[in-house]
Amino acid sequence: MSEGTPKPKVYVEKRGGKEVTIIKGLHTWGKERLEKTARDIKKKTGCGGTVKDGIIELQGDLRGNSKFKAEILKLFH
């Protein structure tokens, strides 16, 4: 990870009985870049999601998904 690259936090929250994967710590990227990143992750993993207040929210617990892990590693390393 380069010097100026933010270190994201990835965790899961329960909302209304459902799990949501949260990627936080990328607020400095700007709205367009966050939306493109979220779109790319959603496309690769086949899940839904959104960007709210500088946070990427994805439907389901994706921490064990190999495609999700590969996409996160590609983006942040």
Kindly report the backbone phi and psi dihedral angles of residue 55, in degrees, each rounded to the nearest multiple of 5, phi listed first. Answer: -125, 135
Residue 5 has pLDDT above 70, yes or no: no
Q: Based on the structure, what is the number of domains in the chain?
A: 1
In this prediction, residue 4 carries a pLDDT of 62
Instruction: Confirm whether 3 is domain-assigned.
Output: no
The answer to whether 46 touches 39, Cβ cutoff 8 Å, is: no
Is 67 part of a structural domain of the chain? Answer: yes
Question: Residue 8 half-sphere exposure, CB side, CA atoms within 13 Å?
Answer: 24
Q: Lowest mean pLDDT: which of 5-9, 22-26, 65-69? A: 5-9
Question: Do the domain assignments include residue 4?
Answer: no
> What pTM does this model have?
0.85
Quick one: pLDDT at residue 27?
83
Q: The domain that contains 69 carries what CATH number?
A: 3.30.780.10
> pLDDT by residue (tens digit) across 48-64?
999 999 999 999 999 89
